[in-house]
Structures are given as C-alpha cells and as structure tokens.
Amino acid sequence: MLKLLTLLVIVSTVSAAGNTCKTGNIVNRLVNSKPYYWPSTWNETQSTPHLAKEQSCSWIVTIPTGYYAKLSISGKTTDKDSRFQTIDAVGNFIQTTHEGMEPYYFPATKFTLAVSNEAVASFAFKIEWFPLPRTTRINFIGEETSLINATNHLYCESYGGNGGITLLPLPINRTHYYSLRSTLVFQGHDTDNGIYISNLFLLYQTKKLYINEYDIVVANLEASNKQDLLLIQEAQNIKNVTYVELIPEPHSNVTVTVNSHKTQEALLIAYQVNQTLVDVQMDNSATVTLYYGSPGGFSFDKTYNKTALLSALPLQFDNFGGVTELFVTAKATFTFEYFVSIYLQSKMFLLLLAIVSTVSAAGNTCKTGNVVNRFVNSQPYYWPTTWNENQTTPSLAKDQTCSWIVTVPKGYYAKLSISGNTTDKDSRFQMIDSAGNLMQTTSEGMQPYYFPPAKFTLAVSNKAAATFAFKIQWFLLPTEITSYNSVGPQVTLINATNSLYYRTYYAPQGVSLLAFPVSSTSYYSLRSTLVYQGSSLDGTYISNLYSLYQTNNQWISKDDTIVLVNLEASKNADLLLIQEALRIKDITFTELIPTVNSKVSVTVNSTKKKTALVAAYQVKQTLTDVQMDTAAYVTIYYGSLDPYNFYKNFTKTQFQEVLPMNFDNSGGNVYEFYVYNGKATFTFHY
C-alpha cells in the first residue's frame, strides 16, 4: 500500500473526521492508461468519502500532447466559504460547491484541481486520459449558417468563414448544461497545433456571442443523449450584434423584447419547433428585417415596418432544420404562441420535406419519385421525419416500392447513411450514383455512402415487412489539390482512407488502381474515396473505391491524369496500389490476402488470359510451396511489371531449389508474380 501511495504522489490520511491532503500534488498520466483515483482506495461505485475540516488541497494534473483528461468529481461542501475549483491550461476558472460526477474535459498541457473547505465536506475524484481526436472535416460557413447538435455524437471539425467565425451554444436545459463541457474549441485547423480557447460550457456562461477572427476547430469528446445545439455563423455581418434568444414554452405564449436603441440587437429563433408570431408592439419608426439564416443577400426574406408586420400577422415560423433571425431597428416586442410540445414535428414540416409517409401497426409506407434537395440551412434530412440515428430502426410495411431522387449542388457531396434490414430474398436497398453505378444491399448498419454532384437515387423494394430509415447530409467538396503525383515504374502504395486528401496522379499511358482493403469482407470505408478522370473535380466522375474493388480487378483510366479525393478519414489501414498502365493494361490481378498464423494457397491461371499474383499487404510472408504446370514459369518483380523491377524467372524445378522464400512487404514493398504458359498454385505461411 505504501508503494501505491508513493506512485500516486498523494499524501492522504484517513481518520474518523475524514481524509486529509496537501497542496502541490503532481499527477501524471499512468503508463498503463489506467484511471487515477483520489483517495486511492475509492472508486465511483462507492459512496463519497468525507474530507476533514480545514483542508487546503491542490493537484496539478499533466496532460501529454495529443491527449485530453476527463475529470469526474463527487463531492459537496457544507459551509458558505468552501469551494471546489478547476483551472485549465489557458486560465479558465470554474468554481462549484457541489459535484455529482458530471465530467470536465481538459486538453494539454495541464489543469489544476483545488479544494478549500472550512467545515467537513465530502470529496473524491477520478481522472482518465484519452487521445484527442484529429480534424476529420473542414467546413466553410457562409450566409446559410450551420446549426449542429453539439453534444450527441463524437466529431472534430474545422470551421472558417468571411471575417471569422461566431459560436452561440443553445443547451436543451438552461439550468443543467453540463453536457456542454465535453465540446472544446480551438483556434486553428487541428487539435494538435491549434490554440485551445475554452469549452461550450464556459462560452455559454458568458451569455455573449463568441467571435474569433480566425478559423476554429470544434471537437466533442463524449457523446451525450442531449439535444444541445450550437449555432455556427461567419462573423462578417454580425460582429456587433447582440442576440436575444427566443426560448420556447410548450402550450404557452412567450413575449420577448428586442431593443436596438443603443446597440444592434436581433431576435434569434433556433430551437427546432413551430411557433406563431401573434402580436408585435413596435416603435413607430422601427423596422424588422427577416433572414432565414445569417444576415445577407442570400438569406434575406423581407423588411417590415410596423403597419406591414401587423397586417401580416399571424406569421408561422417552422424552424425545423435551421434558424430565423429578426433584425430590429429601434425597439419591438414580439409575442409568440406555441401549441405543440417542443419534441413534436408539424404537418408543415412533413410537407416541406416533400415526402408522403404514413405509419401504421404494419410499418411506414412511402412512394416513388420523391425529390430531396439540400436544405438552405445545411441541416440533415431524415426519413422518416420523426426518426434520428439515436433511435431504433422503424418498420417498413410489406409490398413497398419507394424511391428518392437526391439532388447534390455543384461544389458539394452528399453523405447517405441507411439503417435497415430486409427479411425476404427478393427485397433490396439500391443506390445509383450520377455515373450510373449501382450499389445493392439487403442490410445496412449506417455505414455511409458518398455521392458527388449532381444527384443520386435511393430506392427500396420489399415483399415482406422490413426495417428502413436513412439520413442524408450535404458537405462542401474540397477545393484545393493537396498534391500532384507522377506514377512511374516504382509503384505507389498509399493508405486510401485514413486521411482527408485531394490528389492528382499522372502517367502518360494511363493510371491503374487496385484496392487492398484491410478486410476483404467488410470494406465500407472504401466508399469515401471517389475517383475522377481529369485534372480536377471538374473532370468526369467514375466511381468510388468500394465499387471498383467489387469488380475483382484493376481499374485503368482512359486519360493520363486522374483525381482521388477521400472525403472522410477512417481508422482503417486500407491500401491502394497505383501503377502506370503502360505494361499491365491486359493483366488480371489476383490479390494475395494474408491470414495471420496460417497458410494461404492461391491459384493463378494464365491458360486463357494474362494473370499475376500481387502481394501488397504490409506483412512478412514466406513462400513455402509452388505447384506448377510442367510448361509454366513465373517471373517475379519487386514492384510493377517493368525491366527496372525485374527479379528472376522460375520454373517449377528452380522454385523447389530455393524454397522457402521470404518476402517482406513492410515499408511499402510490393511483389508481383506473373504466371506464363499455364497454372501455378502458391502457398504462403504467415
């Protein structure tokens, strides 16, 4: 026990009056990544221990670069002068008297936890360290604004806009908004190199619009079940605006005053409910300008004077999927009426979505020919409209034939996530992209598809009852090419899906692509990588790596230049072999797929077509046996089929003389085995 206390660098004693402690304790991340507890004998399944009276204690907790710390405190003070305090790496200060294990989140390099009490208190805490996420998407915010759920999923995204970026948190609960602590804000483009600013919990407490003239990163570190919103706008036209939020009260009237006599104020309607403006009291000189989004020409709707606005009443604002902003000159008092719960959606919303659907005990029904356009406010589109990804998948009634034509504006791509399962052999989910590629499945678990402009079609046809729902999001395509590459005799082997990129590849006689997913049965991550012919995204869209892999052969471009763009980073080590097509246009490749601690045999047959075995997975393998036709021979190349990469020719006899042969693919090596005049079966050991 003494060694454990020394390791934890904490001096504490327990008496009948409670634990005691000291100031200046240093806590480092444990090498085994285990949580750190104080007291060391306590954990979160136990009741909170007592802290003796008149304690003054502090812990300086170090956080390695690339990590964050999660602090959970359980405790309560019992006198008016006692406090729990935390100070993060940039000096943000939080002080409380009661803690119920609602976590705090701190980025590198440290934070300080302190407690000072007069009377006996209860106090304990737990600290965990986790890797910080990296940026997975870069967003440009224009007049349309971005209204996201800030805390109900994990994400790390960069935002930029004209004049900078503004943030306004809108928690679902105005008194208990602890879930905002998990969302951190950095200035820059990534969590590693960016400057930590604060978290949404603290930004919300300022009751002001947060403005940063540079690009920022917003990272949510832990998903909650809360519907907390975050309004993200470009700062260009709103730097001097004070927003007055309209906070709904179900089945009630809400009155709110906007006074712009001294500073510019605007009424912000952001919570996702229906509301009706039933009365307005305005100065005679006042005007109200209505924007569906951030103020600008694209989002402008109308400017009302007092007479015009009164004559237009009642006005209904269907706020699902976006925000409405009312800019006031002089002073106006608005009265809104709410008839429905803030969790219910209106018939107007269903019409807006241009979907006809009904729900019965047998499941949802739907129709063909539905057209889905990107929302101006960039919000996701859900079907059914009452569903989201946090819920179980709803039933689809039997004998349905449904289709949705989804438009994708130029400069954007669409991300489709389906949740569903068919229950009979004739039912299918089908997607057809703008190039005519057909993808067809019977079961979907929200693994995304990605579609470039100008549209794609989603269809479902089922005989028996099924489950079915989907979500569509639209995002900006990248605009800046990240690298220009030439492909020569030395093959190019890249990780296709673990980072965002927009690259061109050039070879005078065309470019060959052959994907090597980390799993040959579950390779959904290849869907995020799109292939174009041409020198930019203005070229001809061909397909994605997912569909190209399903052809079971290399793909060869007709042009000398292609574009590869990966739209979402995965954690998979999917590989892509890129070769010049000069000498391999008529080759059918067979991929060598390793199985750890096993023997793998693969046959290559060149009796009817030119064939080759290619080993690209980054492992070590030993060729232990080769069975060949008598007339056959094998040529091995360390790379693509080119004299520069030639290693040796082998007949059956010559192979037997040199086996076993070791092939080390680590470090980007690729080996190709060309079979001539017959058939050969290779056996490798891993």
Note the pLDDT tens digit of each residue in 18-75. 899 998 899 999 888 899 999 999 999 999 999 999 999 999 999 999 999 999 999 9
* Chain segment 132-148, per-residue pLDDT in tens: 998 888 888 877 788 88
The domain that holds 80 is classified in CATH as 2.60.120.290
Task: Say if 343 falls within a structural domain.
Answer: no
Q: Are residues 372 and 471 in the same domain?
A: yes
CATH number at residue 619: 2.60.120.340
Give the confidence band of 616 by pLDDT, cuts at 50, 70, 90.
Answer: confident
Number of domains in the chain: 6
Say if residue 443 is in the same domain as residue 554: no
Instruction: Judge residue 609's burial from the number of C-beta atoms within 10 Å of its C-beta, 0-12 exposed, 13-18 middle, 19 or more buried.
Output: exposed
Q: Which range scores top for mean pLDDT: 36-45, 374-383, 456-465, 517-526?
A: 36-45
Q: Is the pLDDT of residue 496 over 80?
A: yes
Q: Are residues 605 and 625 in the same domain?
A: yes
How far is the C-alpha of 365 from the C-alpha of 380, rounded, in Å?
A: 21
Same domain, yes or no: 34 and 102: yes
Name the pairing type of β-strands 370-372 and 400-407.
parallel
Same domain? For 466 and 533 the reply is no
Last residue of a domain, one of 234, 253, 280: 234
Sequence-distant (6+) residues with CB within 8 A of 30 are 36, 129
Parent domain of 681: 588-685
Residue 151 has pLDDT above 90, yes or no: yes
**Domain end position, chosen among 559, 580, 601:** 580
Residues 6+ apart with CB under 8 A from 570: 497, 498, 525, 528
The pLDDT value given to residue 8: 36
533 pLDDT higher than 50: yes
Q: Which amino acid is at 160?
A: G
Whether the predicted pLDDT of 7 surpasses 60: no
Q: Half-sphere exposure of residue 254, counting CA atoms within 13 Å on the CB side? A: 18
Q: Would you say residue 347 lies in a domain?
A: no
Tokens coding 152: 């109900």
At 339, the pLDDT band (50, 70, 90 cuts) reads low
How far is CA 438 from each of CA 94, 117, 124, 303, 497, rounded to the nearest angstrom?
54, 67, 57, 48, 21
- Verify that 8 and 121 share a domain, yes or no: yes
Q: What angle do CA 506, 509, 512 make, to 5 degrees?
A: 65
What CA–CA distance (Å, rounded) separates 510 from 487? Answer: 9
Look at residue 345 and tell me if it is in a domain. no
CA 549, 552, 556, 557: dihedral to nearest 10 degrees?
A: -40
Q: For position 320, what pLDDT does the model report?
A: 58
